Structure formats: structure tokens, C-alpha cells
């Protein structure tokens, strides 16, 4: 009897404790097991981290739904599109030597500064009698041609727009580009303003022929879609910096075939300050006026009298005068001695066996700088230091 009573008391105590635990926890006690490692469910969207604070904009609160690649595309466009302008030109062209017919052209450009300077291709504005520049807000301004450089297909315009309406483009670095790098092109193809296309750098150091039998060097080849109206527009990297200026496409139809070309920004950095200051490029002059190309290199024929090459001691063709007599008459006979002429093979250690390559290497310098021209003289290689003059 006593054992039964004691058992009942113990049972009642345990029941009271259990009831108290039920009231405190709100139900049966939960068992917490160690969770397995996270596994992405099939077809589930990725959880994306927020973009770096340095790149956030007011609209970035809505970017979490986009992939990292999409987010980069959006940020590049938002950063750069206000710096891109639409250029339209008007000119007259004569048909049948009688009738002057109005002609219109279109292209793209980039704002360089808040003084109203705009970068574009020379071929976009060549021969134009009227030039108009339309900004991102739709406002249009008459533009004047400040300067141009046909060998590099670069031109600078200027508009009289309020500084607070001008958003200058950030300039990048084209010396460190890599094939496969993602790039963006913004322009006005077919008049469709501020259209962005994307692609990669397909190749580097391409060459493009220009007027005057010259060749542009270090051209960037891309597969981003370019069409008529893209000329003069910016080529951008993933940080929205200008790394080139779109200038041409390879096409038999005039439409995009996936092969486009851009002038590197380093050329822009070198040329534009001179165009703004002088309206033209003051090119260095070596003082060599005529050369002949052979299998070995460039044979110097003539030099500018008293010019840099002659002062440095380079040798060209020599005119030999001989006095001869025939019967009662005496006369002077002139002959050209080509044996003593120097043959150019390199400039600053880089091979230069064509006239175009020679000029391109010389133009890496500024007037007054020294170029080392390597020549073959009497069967030996000789380095000659030439202090370059100023040419056109």
C-alpha cells in the first residue's frame, strides 16, 4: 500500500514537471539536428551578393535580380551613355557636274571635357558644311571643327553647351588589352541613339589602310556589332572607360559581319591635345624626302638640305659631276652614285623596311626628340642618332 502511494506521488511530480515544460515551450520539445551542407536546387536562381559600394547607384536596389554579367552591362551603360553624342552632318555633292545635291551623314562621338570638345572620326565630318551634335537629353547644338588628323582618322569638334549638361567620358588604357577581354560599343547605328552592343576583343595590333597610302597601326579588332552610324563612338571596358574609338567594319555589304575595328585610346591621347591646341598634328620630321625599297630595306635617295638626317650624317644618293671633252667642246656630265647610300633597316631597334612602317615609328616621337635610325653602310650595321624636326 505504502509502495503504491509512493509510486503515485512520484508519477504526479513527473507529470507536473512535464506540464510546466509544455506550457513554457508551447508544445512538444523540438529536436535540432545538424543541417546538411547547402545544395543549389535545380533551376533555382542564384543568390547574388550586392555590388561593391563604390559602384552602387540609386537604382542598384533593383539589380539583385540580375546575373553578375547583366549587372556589369547595366552599370557600364548607366555610367557611359550620357557621354555619347549623336552627330549629323550636311553637305552638298555635285552630280553630272551641274546639280548640287544635299547629302546627309550620321555618326557618333564622345564628350571629352566640359569645354564642349567632342571626339569623333575624321571620316564622319569630312567635307561637312553643317555639323550638329545631339546630347543624351535630346538637345542639339551646332558644332565647329576644331582640328583633324586624316592619317589617324581622328577629329575634334566643339559645341557651345552649358558645362553642367556635358558628362565627359573617362579614358582608360589600351596598352594592357588582352584578346578575349569583354568590351562594349555605344553609338547610333542607323540613327538609333545610344545603342549598346557587347562582345570581346578578337585580336590586337591590326593595321588599317587610310588615305594618302598610309596605314593606321595597333588597331583593336572586336566582334561587337558595329553598323553605319557607330563610327566615332566609344569602345568601353567593363569599368565604363574608353579604350578605343570605333572606326570601321569589314564587310562586303556595308552591314555588320562580326568584324569591327577601333582606334586605341593611346592614339587619342597623343593626337587630341595637339588638335585642340593647334588644329593639326605637328609630326616629327626626319628630313628624308625620298627612299627606294629593296629586299634589304629603304635606300635613302634624297634628303632635305640642312635637315635632321643630313645634319646627323646619313647618306643618300651622290651626284657625281665629270668634265668631259668632245672635239673642240667641253661639257659636264652628271651621274648618280648609289653605292654610297645608306639603307634603313630599323628605327629605335624595331624593323622598318617599308616607308609606312618607317613613318609610323618616327611618329611615335615628338619634334625635338631623338630617334635612332639603323642603316646598312658599306656592309655593316650603323646606328645614327637623328634629332627630329617639326613637319606637317
Q: Please identify which of the residues 86, 117, 123, 365 carries the catalytic annotation.
A: 123
**Residue 363 binned pLDDT confidence (cut-offs 50, 70, 90):** confident
Hey, CA dihedral for 348, 350, 352, 355, is it positive or negative? negative
**Residue 308 binned pLDDT confidence (cut-offs 50, 70, 90):** very high
Report pLDDT digits (tens) over 92-146: 765 555 555 567 889 999 999 999 999 999 999 999 999 999 999 999 999 999 9
Which helix (H) or strand (E) element contains residue 104?
A: strand 99-111
More confident residue, 115 or 392: 115
* Numbered ranges of CATH 2.40.10.10 in the chain: 82-165, 182-278
Q: What's the mean per-residue pLDDT of the chain?
A: 81
pLDDT higher than 80, residue 41: no
The CATH code of domain 182-278 reads 2.40.10.10
**Residue 360 binned pLDDT confidence (cut-offs 50, 70, 90):** confident
pLDDT higher than 80, residue 271: yes
pTM given for the model? 0.69
CA 193 to CA 333: how far, in whole Å? 69
pLDDT, position 18 = 41
Q: What angle do CA 254, 255, 258 make, to 5 degrees?
A: 120
Our answer to whether residue 231 is catalytic in this structure is: yes
pLDDT higher than 80, residue 269: yes
pLDDT, position 99 = 59
pLDDT higher than 50, residue 165: yes
Q: Which class is domain 284-390?
A: mainly beta
Q: What percent of the chain shows pLDDT beyond 90?
A: 54
**Residue 57 binned pLDDT confidence (cut-offs 50, 70, 90):** low
CA 140 to CA 343: how far, in whole Å? 54
**Residue 187 binned pLDDT confidence (cut-offs 50, 70, 90):** very high
pLDDT higher than 70, residue 38: no
More confident residue, 356 or 69: 69
* Numbered ranges of CATH 2.30.42.10 in the chain: 284-390
Q: Please identify which of the residues 83, 110, 202, 231 carries the catalytic annotation.
A: 231
Which DSSP symbol is given to 166? -
Q: Please identify which of the residues 149, 153, 223, 342 carries the catalytic annotation.
A: 153
Our answer to whether residue 153 is catalytic in this structure is: yes
Q: Residue 262: which of 214, 210, 204 has the closest Cα?
A: 204
| Mean pLDDT within 232-252 | 90
Which DSSP symbol is given to 256? -
Q: Which fold has domain 82-165?
A: Thrombin, subunit H (2.40.10)
C-alpha cell at 278: 593647334
pLDDT higher than 90, residue 282: no
pLDDT, position 249 = 81
Amino acid at each position: 500500500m505504502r509502495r503504491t502511494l509512493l509510486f503515485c506521488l512520484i508519477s504526479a511530480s513527473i507529470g507536473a514537471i512535464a506540464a510546466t515544460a509544455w506550457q513554457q515551450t508551447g508544445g512538444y520539445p523540438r529536436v535540432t539536428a545538424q543541417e546538411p551542407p547547402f545544395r543549389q536546387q535545380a533551376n533555382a536562381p542564384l543568390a547574388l551578393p550586392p555590388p561593391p559600394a563604390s559602384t552602387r547607384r540609386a537604382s542598384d536596389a533593383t539589380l539583385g535580380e540580375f546575373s553578375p554579367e547583366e549587372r556589369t552591362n547595366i552599370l557600364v551603360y548607366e555610367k557611359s551613355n550620357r557621354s555619347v553624342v549623336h552627330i549629323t552632318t550636311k553637305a552638298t555633292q555635285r552630280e553630272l557636274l551641274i546639280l548640287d545635291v544635299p547629302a546627309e551623314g550620321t555618326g557618333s562621338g564622345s564628350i571629352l571635357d566640359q569645354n564642349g570638345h567632342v571626339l569623333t572620326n575624321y571620316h564622319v565630318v569630312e567635307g561637312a558644311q553643317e555639323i550638329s551634335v545631339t546630347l543624351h537629353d535630346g538637345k542639339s547644338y551646332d558644332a565647329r571643327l576644331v582640328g583633324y588628323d586624316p592619317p589617324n582618322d581622328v577629329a575634334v569638334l566643339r559645341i557651345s553647351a552649358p558645362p553642367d549638361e556635358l558628362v565627359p567620358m573617362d579614358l582608360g588604357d589600351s596598352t594592357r588589352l588582352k584578346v578575349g577581354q569583354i568590351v562594349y560599343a555605344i553609338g547610333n547605328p542607323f540613327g538609333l541613339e545610344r545603342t549598346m552592343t557587347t562582345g570581346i576583343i578578337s585580336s590586337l595590333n591590326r593595321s588599317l589602310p587610310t588615305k594618302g597610302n598610309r596605314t593606321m597601326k595597333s588597331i583593336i579588332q572586336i566582334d561587337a556589332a558595329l553598323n553605319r552610324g557607330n563610327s566615332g563612338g566609344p569602345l568601353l571596358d567593363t569599368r565604363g572607360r574608353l579604350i578605343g574609338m570605333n572606326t570601321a567594319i569589314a564587310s562586303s555589304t556595308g552591314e555588320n559581319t562580326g568584324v569591327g575595328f577601333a582606334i586605341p585610346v593611346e592614339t587619342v591621347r597623343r593626337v587630341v591635345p595637339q588638335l585642340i591646341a593647334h588644329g593639326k598634328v605637328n609630326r616629327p620630321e626626319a628630313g628624308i624626302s625620298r627612299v627606294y625599297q629593296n629586299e634589304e630595306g629603304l635606300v635613302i635617295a634624297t634628303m632635305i638640305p640642312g635637315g635632321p638626317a643630313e645634319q646627323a650624317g646619313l647618306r643618300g644618293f651622290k651626284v657625281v659631276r665629270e668634265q668631259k671633252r668632245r672635239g673642240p667642246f667641253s661639257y659636264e656630265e652628271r651621274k648618280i652614285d648609289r653605292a654610297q647610300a645608306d639603307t634603313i633597316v630599323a628605327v629605335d631597334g624595331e624593323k622598318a623596311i617599308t616607308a609606312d612602317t618607317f613613318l609610323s615609328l618616327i611618329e611615335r616621337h615628338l619634334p625635338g626628340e631623338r630617334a635612332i635610325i639603323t642603316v646598312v653602310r658599306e656592309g655593316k650595321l650603323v646606328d645614327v642618332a637623328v634629332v627630329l624636326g617639326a613637319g606637317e
